[in-house]
């Protein structure tokens, strides 16, 4: 994911017209995120997430085969990732537990939705500040002589 000016500059050099700042803006003060989930992103290294479908199974959201999401590795993923069939079989009891944990802001027993760019994030900041800094960093890098 893109979370700093280096990523934006690299994307532009590769021909992109723009980038998506999903994880980086998820870690903004404007994001409607539980405080424990914001705390989780600040302590998660870039390799602390995984692609899985377990959160969608628990939420009973059906995606076409092959579609997964990247979420933080935690107690929930440790229990269910790799055991998707068992979760599907237990969704009548596990689904309500998941929804209750999510409503409570529990960062260990739900899917905490962010990607590998988490390793580049060290603060929850206003979105405008984030975009301004990333843009300034990219401009400075792109202005350097090659």
Taking the chain (146 residues) in runs of 10, the rounded mean pLDDT of each run is 97 97 98 97 96 96 90 98 98 98 97 96 98 98 92
Using DSSP's 3-state secondary structure scheme, residue 86 falls into helix
Residue 66 has a pLDDT of 84
Task: Say how far apart CA 37 and CA 109 lie, in whole Å.
Answer: 11
pTM of the model: 0.88
Residue 68 has a pLDDT of 87
Residue 29 has a pLDDT of 98
């Amino acid at each position: 994911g893109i979370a700093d000016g280096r990523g934006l500059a690299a994307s532009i050099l590769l021909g992109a017209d723009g980038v998506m700042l999903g994880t980086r803006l998820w870690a903004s003060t404007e994001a409607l995120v539980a405080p424990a989930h914001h705390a989780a992103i600040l302590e998660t290294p870039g390799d602390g997430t995984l692609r899985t479908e377990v959160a969608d199974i628990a939420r009973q959201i059906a995606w076409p085969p092959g579609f997964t999401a990247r979420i933080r590795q935690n107690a929930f993923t440790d229990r269910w990732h790799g055991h998707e069939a068992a979760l599907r079989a237990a969704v009548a009891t596990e689904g309500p537990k998941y929804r209750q944990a999510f409503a409570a802001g529990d960062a260990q027993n739900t899917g905490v939705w962010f990607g590998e760019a988490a390793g580049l994030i060290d603060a929850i900041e206003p979105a405008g500040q984030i975009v301004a800094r990333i843009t300034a960093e990219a401009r400075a890098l792109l202005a350097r002589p090659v």
